[in-house]
Structure 1
């Protein structure tokens, strides 16, 4: 389960935000930086921030689309090109120099937050330059051809409702062959340098690319928009668009997709590494540590996170011991997930519609309960939809952001491959995380705050996923976990996040194999096929899954600190507003914010 946003599924170093101490800059970025006088400091900061964001969005326009910014929907970008990558990193260093020239102590509180977060992002981006992420442009979780294919139905982040939007998508299709050829070139360099994806990931990814190849343009998934042409389009536009899509797909896109599929099968897959973790690659230990910093916004080491994970697994298993008998289970606590997974009563669905009906009912119940906990809520609506068929096999339930202009709601996507195998126990906690008050209350609200674009459309994983995991815990206070089966679902999902700390660090820092991770997940969580797809997700996105638990534990720690310090003065809606009202911030900054709020209340 994940919020599908650019920062969480990095395709290039442009979106890998590694940790650097707030208030620090790299020595190389401090040369000859004249101090800006107090008067224009605010304007200078906002100018740098806007120019920085536009540079990132133009470098990775698909990422901007995913984040709800549709200004660049006609551009594909070529962020995986070594030449463009070099230009971008040079720009980051220049932005860092310009930022350092601003007198931070002459900014107000809001601008200081903007300053600190921008500095944090720039430091992290610059730190990632040494790691050749562009040599790994494709995985089963994350690649441009499948992303564009998922837009084809008009239900994804890229809108398809006007002639201009149809032309924008067509423009991207026309640029895709260049991206594909660059990706192939990069992977060939990766083969020579010993920097490839693990073979298991490409075995999982290959069917996606084979499905993208079609016998005729009309049979292509990329032709789907033409099968859904709005009636309001003029006949001339319908004819022009149909002909243009057909020609682009037939003449440019299909040959490129054949090249990619053939390359992956015949050349890349045989050359892929048999090792599992990022630590097995050249400079891999440092690469993984940078990714850990990115995901957690902390200086925690992989060993420290591994230990936290083991401690959390033990804590949750002790709760399983109490819960098991209430469900009719009297075995060892560690065996409860396996037992639940074997009970037919927890798999009651026959159709996709039955699954969706449960989520719709839960959505209605939350509308009555959340106002007692939140005075700060987004205006944007939340839609509930099924994941498109192409990506169901490898997707997890997830959330996508509303459009920045309010034209598209936030969406909770449920992934139902086989309704009879869709477990009912985890549905409440899932919706609290992916829907509301999890990702929707945070991400949609962030679109509505008066923030610079780099914050409105950006962020970090520890806050984003930490908030959503914290939001799950609120189900107990709302009485949503009075049903032992639903409380088991919550604990089991918490266990998943704890297990992630163990297996992610295990594979990438401690030499665990893919098979060890799968076995540990099966033993601890009772998963079967899911253990494989989850393990391979962590292999494809090193460190990404660590932010959930680290961020959630920090928010819970801060709430407890506030409750203890304020006693009867503590207000839960006010605490939630403090956490959310500045959008996404690194965890160190969040802690400072909450501490200031506590002091002000006292």
Structure 2
């Protein structure tokens, strides 16, 4: 999913990306009054949860937009400013103190889940306070300027179709130069303290920042909305918006984008570190452990996760031994991915439209098969679109959430840089993960459940990505992997998730170099290009990629436990409803919930 769910991608304490107008920290602080003992526990909890979410959403409003909450689309946020960051952590401490005054035993089961998750999120957020993440405000995977540029076409998470929406986007764009200048200031501070990004990922990211620079306002990507002005707008609105966009882009945005591109190329990249992992930075081992805890919602240590990864790689490669001959391959199992990658028959596409047609056909097939496995499905539709050109070079296929008000569907974005190099073997498993029943069934459904906003628009990576990876395994039961090539694609993608456990912990906790990671991934997966881009992704987002496999393994374990305990009474649709029915949960809470369900069925 996109970092946002690409974002996502959604690490609860790291991607509860949400935020603040310059006045909002003080305004929110004024609402943080001590709870009175007379307030019922239920009412006090919901009030606290709403205030917490509102504060978080104002602090990082782009994250709110990515997660389907469009109420803050006119705000950019300045979460990277040290003073605002300090004020936000002060708020979180106040929220945690208030939560501790609410008597959990007075809450019903649903409220106890909200209580426990709010406590978990606050603990995770506060654990990050000591680590200067604001000194690393951009990388090749995501940055505010590129995210905002991707909204310009009006087809992504931020809608641009009404006069109000045009004004909201212009408001955000107007705030971009101040964000850029703060980011440059922060990076210079990081350079002084030895806290910089690895040089390799900034070299990879530089072209995206350079593409944002334009010769004229009219050719600038942030002027794009004006090229799509609806005919229904009044002449007065058309003239006002055209003049305002042109002036803002020409006078403020273009100079700021040029400053950023020049700074990254001339100052920052030469000063960036040659080391690879987070562990190389001051306090880096603790920093990485905090990210691991947030990404996996467990207390697993990096060395334990590394060992799990190696075990999973070996298990999957053993299945290659059986599958290889069915594809016409007779060599050693570990060489199967390299062999498949060299077969022209697995690259059948000549156009983007041909790629999209396969996904549309698969979507139709799933509409007939998924009702047998799911009684609980979202009402929101799933749309299929191509990734915008600006971000294709560094993006991965991903999902974005529907609008909370139902005005925009969930979207599966396919990234097709060169159709002739788009492999067909992984398409089924990819769509099961990023489309349905993966991210769409979980994230779209979350917005339709009666949940507080902090849960409806938030989440954690282990459940979010763990569910999506578990969803891939359902393809076998649906007969979608009867084609050996598609089953290979499934196993190879699962192998990618297993190698992530090895190389992410290898780089950030065991001193692996970027080159060591690329070689391991290339040897294991057989895809040189993916090995480079994936390695650099894990460098940019330490720990984020661990949630997939750790979460998936837990859901598989819980399903096997339930099936064994219930025997003939086990119902797969009911199990899926239990897993999805309360939205995103930390893995320990999910396990408790499934165990209670098993007991109730017995």
Q: TM-score, normalised by structure 1?
A: 0.96
Checking the alignment, whether the CA contact within 8 Å between 1:307 and 1:502 is kept in structure 2 is: yes
1:527 match:
527
- How far off is 1:154 after superposition? 0.6
- How far off is 1:3 after superposition? 6.2
1:451 match:
451
1:320 match:
320
- How far off is 1:529 after superposition? 1.3
Aligned pairs for 1:347-496 within 5 A: 347-496=347-496
1:339 match:
339
- How far off is 1:231 after superposition? 1.1
1:174 match:
174
The 2-side partners of 1:317 and 1:240 are apart by 61
Q: Structure 1 residues 572, 480: CA separation in 2 closer, same or farther (over 3 Å shift)?
A: same
C-alpha RMSD of the superposition: 1.5
Local SS of the residue matching 1:141: coil
2:260 match:
260
1:24 match:
none
The 2-side partners of 1:207 and 1:247 are apart by 25
Checking the alignment, whether the CA contact within 8 Å between 1:36 and 1:102 is kept in structure 2 is: no
Aligned pairs for 1:40-55 within 5 A: 40-55=40-55
1:162 match:
162
Aligned pairs for 1:15-26 within 5 A: 15=15
Query: Is the aligned partner of 1:224 residue 2:252?
Result: no
1:100 match:
100
1:131 match:
131
Deviations 1:171-224 (A, max 9, x none): 011100000000000000000000000000110111111110000000001111
Checking the alignment, whether the CA contact within 8 Å between 2:2 and 2:9 is kept in structure 1 is: no
- How far off is 1:504 after superposition? 0.3
Local SS of the residue matching 2:411: strand
Checking the alignment, whether the CA contact within 8 Å between 1:3 and 1:439 is kept in structure 2 is: no
Unaligned runs of 5+ in 2: 18-32
- How far off is 1:512 after superposition? 0.3
Local SS of the residue matching 2:150: helix
Checking the alignment, whether the CA contact within 8 Å between 1:135 and 1:190 is kept in structure 2 is: yes
The 2-side partners of 1:9 and 1:472 are apart by 18
Checking the alignment, whether the CA contact within 8 Å between 1:558 and 1:591 is kept in structure 2 is: yes
- How far off is 1:15 after superposition? 3.5
- How far off is 1:235 after superposition? 1.1
The 2-side partners of 1:13 and 1:514 are apart by 26
1:110 match:
110
The 2-side partners of 1:91 and 1:44 are apart by 17
- How far off is 1:2 after superposition? 4.9
The 2-side partners of 1:104 and 1:566 are apart by 31
Query: Is the aligned partner of 1:282 residue 2:297?
Result: no
The 1-side partners of 2:9 and 2:323 are apart by 35
Checking the alignment, whether the CA contact within 8 Å between 2:12 and 2:121 is kept in structure 1 is: no
- How far off is 1:528 after superposition? 1.2
The 1-side partners of 2:533 and 2:148 are apart by 22
Q: Structure 1 residues 334, 490: CA separation in 2 closer, same or farther (over 3 Å shift)?
A: same
Deviations 1:277-320 (A, max 9, x none): 00000000000000000110000000000000000000000000
Deviations 1:118-154 (A, max 9, x none): 0000011111100000000000001000001000011
The 1-side partners of 2:53 and 2:529 are apart by 40
- How far off is 1:4 after superposition? 3.1
Checking the alignment, whether the CA contact within 8 Å between 2:35 and 2:44 is kept in structure 1 is: no
- How far off is 1:236 after superposition? 1.0
Local SS of the residue matching 1:448: coil
The 1-side partners of 2:478 and 2:338 are apart by 28
2:67 match:
67
- How far off is 1:9 after superposition? 4.9
The 1-side partners of 2:521 and 2:237 are apart by 53
- How far off is 1:40 after superposition? 0.9
1:564 match:
564
The 1-side partners of 2:329 and 2:119 are apart by 52
1:245 match:
245
2:24 match:
none
Checking the alignment, whether the CA contact within 8 Å between 1:360 and 1:384 is kept in structure 2 is: yes
Deviations 1:450-482 (A, max 9, x none): 000000000000000000000000000000000
Local SS of the residue matching 2:395: coil
2:540 match:
540
Local SS of the residue matching 2:350: coil
Checking the alignment, whether the CA contact within 8 Å between 2:447 and 2:456 is kept in structure 1 is: yes
Local SS of the residue matching 1:516: helix
The 2-side partners of 1:286 and 1:201 are apart by 22
Matched residues, number: 587
The 2-side partners of 1:6 and 1:118 are apart by 22
1:589 match:
589
Deviations 1:474-495 (A, max 9, x none): 0000000000000000000000
Checking the alignment, whether the CA contact within 8 Å between 1:68 and 1:401 is kept in structure 2 is: yes
- How far off is 1:14 after superposition? 5.9
The 2-side partners of 1:242 and 1:450 are apart by 41
Checking the alignment, whether the CA contact within 8 Å between 1:16 and 1:124 is kept in structure 2 is: no
- How far off is 1:5 after superposition? 2.7
The 2-side partners of 1:34 and 1:277 are apart by 42
2:22 match:
none
2:204 match:
204
2:184 match:
184
The 2-side partners of 1:212 and 1:2 are apart by 21
Local SS of the residue matching 2:334: helix
- How far off is 1:426 after superposition? 0.3
Q: Structure 1 residues 12, 166: CA separation in 2 closer, same or farther (over 3 Å shift)?
A: farther
Checking the alignment, whether the CA contact within 8 Å between 1:277 and 1:539 is kept in structure 2 is: yes
Checking the alignment, whether the CA contact within 8 Å between 2:375 and 2:577 is kept in structure 1 is: yes
The 1-side partners of 2:152 and 2:434 are apart by 23
The 2-side partners of 1:431 and 1:16 are apart by 25
